[in-house]
Structure 1
Amino acid sequence: MSNLKNIEDVDLYAILDIQISATESEIKKAYRKKALQCHPDKNPDDPKAAETFHELSRALEILTDASARAAYDRVLRAKAAAKLRHQELDSKRQKLKEDLERREREAAAGQATRLTDEQKLAAEIERLQKEGSRLLLEEQQKVREEIQRKMEILSEPVWDSSLNRIKIKWKADKNDDNNGGYDEPLLRRFLKKYGNITALIMSPKKKGSALVEFSSKEASEMAVELEKGLPDNPLTLKWVNERPVLTTKRDYGGPSLVSDRDYESLVLTKMRQAAERQRLIEEMMKEEQS
């Protein structure tokens, strides 16, 4: 960020995208929002990320300190007023004004105790640097903790029922219209006690065969271990992939957060996944029949 000599040339309010009338709460909120977007940990490939984050931190540090902000605002207002006056003066009057200001500065230089607004601002910034900003450190820590929390969530194991299908077998002759005593409602009644069933499909041609998906790992494991079905024609449940498979949320698009504008895309993705799941189950049933 700009050094102390030209801090007055930086628009700290524009950096945080807030109005000059913003409250301390609004300043903190704007800082967190911007910091989460440009934090170096989230932008390892951006060489300017650290510089941008430092600019945000300096803006928060000055604008949340009452004395430093007051000094900065005075400089800001003075520069705005000066800019307006400069625009209204023609070249001749501008030269006269600059000569007058030069003489005033030379006269003020002889007064040892008089400080300009710029000098007061520099003194406030120097004070902040010496004292350290507790609030700045707290806000930076909150940003780091928020990023860490979201990264941990994205790394947590996730159960995908489409990767953990269970094959169900029982005895049934190919000409048995009763299918060995089993139909979908009966299978569902046996299986639903273990947990929510995501999908259950009976083989349309091959007797004594079905596939089931549960929404949780616990339900799937209990069903495989415990369910026997009818005593006179027991069921056999086995993993299609031989054992449970876990994935992570990172496998579904990386660590970026889903915003409101991404919702429609997310819904379409889920619909495509559901269609793909149905297609895969049907293909697997066809393979068993062949």
Structure 2
Amino acid sequence: MSTTEDEISPYELLNVTIEATEQEIRTAYRQRSLKVHPDRNPNNPDAARKFHELNQAYELLLDPLRRLALDAKQRLKLARKERFKSYDNKRKNLVEELEERERAFKKARMEKQKEEVETWKDTERIKEEGKRLREQKEKELRDKMYPKKEQVADEEEEDAPPAMDPLDTTVRLKYPFKTYPHLTTPAAIASLLARFGATDESSIVMSTSLKGKTPSDKPPKTGSALVPFKQIGDAFAAVCSNGSKEMGLEGIKITWVNGKEPEILGWLRKMGKLGNAGSSAPDSKPKDSSYSPKNDAPKATLPQNQSRPSSSTPFSSFPSTFPENVSGSESTPAPVAGIDYESLTLMRMRQAERERLEREILEQEANE
């Protein structure tokens, strides 16, 4: 118990004697609790403390073991008081002086412990504050010396070229049969576009409306084909020459098979390595100008083609090199004795894509 409780015993708090019974203790507790209860003394700031001390005294006196120890202590205290009464004045003064020293020593020790606790708390608080300031300074220094990883990653991601789609090198041709009646085979289509670059003739998909026709059937008005180039630059040149009379492509519509420009071209244009598609078309330089339509259309010869050296680029506005992680197109794997699973899967995927494109052509022609 506290110092106050040592000076005032539970018996004194309940106003009962050391020989009081449990019933007397209960009665005394009820009477005293009504006087010091906080609800009955709202204006007394010590009411809660007094009521708490009264409860502790009541619980202690109802506990037989704790009350036995308290009774022994109380009897010892009473015996000491009786002895003190029998002392002469000189001895009483010595005893009082000794007790006063003991109380002063105990008080000083408690105050010292309290000061030590406060000092320890202040030291820990200063350490935490110093640690926080040090970490903040180190973080500011790191941020100043080294750019943030997220910022560097974002910049690298912006500068990185996009992944190429397998169909980025494929173009769609639509042409009138009345003007180009000879364009009925992949070889003829490949020959027409040979001026722009090499095509994968074996993968050219022709309109299936050309197959199975009988003389009694009405001939189709237009033809269509999907032509995969081996280099995206060649496909870009072909699209830019869409319907060009100078290229011998009058009436032929050449568009990207996906209906939009490949992302890699937008990236090249953003990096300043490629001009606008619209402005690049007049600068197109076909690789082979020997082709002429079979409908006796006049052969167009550009001045650039007459004096062009053999080492000139096929399409002047298109970059000659790509980033290392971007390839022009997927080359067909050479046949080997034991083809691996990945190559077989790729071949099946390409075959499925061709069948899908053939179905699209049929649906478009049916709608037209």
Which TM-score applies when normalising by structure 1?
A: 0.33
Q: Which has more helix, going by share of residues?
A: 1
Q: Which has more strand, going by share of residues?
A: 1
- Larger Rg, first or second structure (1 or 2): 2
Which TM-score applies when normalising by structure 2?
A: 0.28
